[in-house]
Structure 1
Amino acid sequence: MPEYMRQNLTFMLALIFSAACGAAGTINEDAHRMHAIRIIIGEAIITATLDDTPSSRDFIAQLPLNIDLKDYASTEKIAYLPHKLSTTNAPPGIDPQIGDITYYAPWGNLAIFYQDFGYSQGLIRLGRITAGLEHLSYPGAKSAKVELATGH
């Protein structure tokens, strides 16, 4: 590829990326708004994005949040939230993927999947871990802070 085409491509990609990133903590992808968060466990930082849904917006309204992430069934880390989240427009359930951040409406808890799991009635996807999933491979419980990420 000629140098002038490579420079134009680099410029266009930079322009697209800058247009995709909005205010601090917000990423616009395909006209779908997402919110960047951090989960801090000791010195470890897990980054994630949350979808723009009524459930996720309710979760964001509770941030920053200090929680105890407890192991559940060697599959997920769970934590109870101070307030239940909206289930407006939520599907009846989902089949979570590894790295999904979800809300289990029947119990009112956050559930972050680090192992594969099947369909669960009442499970709502809030978002997805983008980096640091390996920091959830501990036994027992650990304190964590969940906050909106600032800047890109």
Structure 2
Amino acid sequence: MLAGIAASLAVGLAARAQTSAPSDRKGVAMRLRLAFADQEFTATLEDNPSARDLLSTVPLDLTIDDYATNEKIAYLPRKLTEEGSGAFGNERPGDLCYYAPWGNLALFYAGYRWSRGLIRLGRLDGGFEPLLVGGKFPLRIERLS
């Protein structure tokens, strides 16, 4: 039993190490500022082709809206690359993802499971509480320098 716990802990720490310091090719963290409905928050992007492609599109003015009971979505003006996509684990509230079949961002504020076409782009910094504001709003996304 202890060996199983130790193995789970090692896997969790390895996953955290892979996602704890996302950066672009220059070693500078890729971060975004998102704002809607008097909510302003930041997200740190993963170092993957889809996240870099998203970063190349900002600034963006989109519309964010509730979807299902666990996420907010916003449709992008164009589809992002799916290069390097595939299943991922450790899904949790605060994930910023791209749903390739529909071409939209998905910002999760409750539990979810990976599904085909879902690509994790990054994580919200400081929690997912801003996403709990219900309704449809203009959304502004900018790069943080």
Residue correspondences, number: 124
In 2, the alpha carbon distance for the partners of 1:117 and 1:33 equals 30
Residue of structure 2 equivalent to 1:39 = 34
8 Å Cα contact 2:22/2:46 also seen in 1: no
In 1, the alpha carbon distance for the partners of 2:69 and 2:116 equals 19
In 1, the alpha carbon distance for the partners of 2:107 and 2:47 equals 18
Mark the runs of 5 or more structure 2 residues left unpaired by the alignment. Answer: 1-20
Q: What percent of counterpart residues are identical?
A: 41
Tell me, what secondary structure is at the counterpart of 1:58?
helix
Are residues 1:84 and 2:84 paired? no
In 2, the alpha carbon distance for the partners of 1:47 and 1:145 equals 11
For 1:124, the aligned partner's letter is I
In 2, the alpha carbon distance for the partners of 1:52 and 1:97 equals 18
In 1, the alpha carbon distance for the partners of 2:89 and 2:52 equals 19
Mark the runs of 5 or more structure 1 residues left unpaired by the alignment. Answer: 1-25
TM-score by length of 1: 0.73
8 Å Cα contact 1:50/1:127 also seen in 2: yes
**Structure 1, residues 87-124: CA drift from partner, whole Å, max 9, x if none?**
01111566631100000011111000001012211100
8 Å Cα contact 1:36/1:47 also seen in 2: yes
TM-score by length of 2: 0.76
1:52 Cα shift? Answer: 1.6
Using a 3 Å threshold, how does the CA distance of structure 1 residues 111 and 27 change in structure 2: closer, same or farther? closer
Superposed, 1:90-105 pairs within 5 Å as: 90-92=85-87, 96-105=91-100
1:42 Cα shift? Answer: 3.8
8 Å Cα contact 1:95/1:119 also seen in 2: no
For 2:78, the aligned partner's letter is H
In 2, the alpha carbon distance for the partners of 1:66 and 1:85 equals 16
1:33 Cα shift? Answer: 5.8
Tell me, what secondary structure is at the counterpart of 1:120?
coil
